[in-house]
Amino acid sequence: MNFEKIELLLESTDKANIELALTILSGFTFEEADIKWLWQYYNRLQNNEKANRPKYNLSQILTGTIISKPTKASRILTLLLEKTNKKEKNRIYESFINNKKITLPRLEFTDFPASLFYYSDLETIVWQHGNLAILPATLLQLPNLQYLDLRHQPLIQIDEEIIEHPSLKEIWISNALIVTENIADSANFDILIEAAY
């Protein structure tokens, strides 16, 4: 892969060039050198985005008017996780794990990442921004999970089988409308809702 040309497109201020670079990347099978370069590029972007994150005022925070949009870094990381082999994918996920807690940056997945189910000792998952639509029953494959923070995820459904989770204590979400009466009445855990108006 020609990293110099891809990086030129990604560094462009023209959104069409950035989209072109991401489209080109999505069409490749990643070799080890590609993964290494893209991982390093992602880390540079992520650090830059953190340093240049806009300041929010208290009013925006209290009224929930802060809108999180996909970033170049989130799209590249999602692409990396979609296109890498199991070994590399695990290495990437493990970089976000600390003491049985994984804190994921924004990812553009609409489904819960299946690779997380290999970490059955996880007790906490924090994934506050992304495109997650459904909270699946496969979450039961994480028997030690106690805290799940999915605030700012556009969830439209929670699988009702989750009420059978043996150790879950809290789920944080932003959409109260997806909590069915059965989940509300039968869950042995708290469902905490942070309004996102």
- Write the pLDDT tens digit of every residue in 8-17: 999 999 999 9
Burial status of residue 109 (CB atoms within 10 A of its CB: 0-12, 13-18, 19 or more): middle
63 pLDDT exceeds 70? no
Helix extents (H) in the chain: 3-11, 15-26, 32-51, 58-63, 72-83, 86-94, 181-186
What is the per-residue pLDDT for 59?
59
Domains in the chain with CATH codes: 1-97 (no CATH), 99-197 (3.80.10.10)
Quote the tokens at residue 48: 């830059």
Contacts of 83 (CB under 8 A, 6+ apart): 26, 28, 29, 30
- Structure-token pair, residue 99: 């003491």
Which residue bears the tokens 């979450």? 139
pLDDT digits (tens, 9 = 90+) for 154-186: 889 999 999 999 999 999 998 888 888 888 889
Q: Mean of the per-residue pLDDT values for the chain?
A: 88
CB burial of 128-147 (b: ≥16 within 10 Å; e: otherwise) equals bbbbbeebbeebbebeebbb
- pLDDT for 197 equals 45
Strand 170-173, strand 147-149: pairing? parallel
Looking at residue 96, the DSSP 8-state letter turns out to be: T
| Distance (Å, whole) CA 100 – CA 97 | 7
d(CA 164, CA 156): 20
* Identity at 183, one-letter amino acid code: I
Token digits for 193? 């809702």
85-137 pLDDT, tens digit each = 999 999 999 999 999 999 999 999 999 999 999 999 999 999 988 999 999 99
- Judged against a pLDDT cut of 80, whether residue 21 lies above it is answered with yes
- Whether the per-residue pLDDT at 65 is higher than 90: the answer is no
**Alpha carbons 16 and 171: distance in angstroms, whole number:** 38
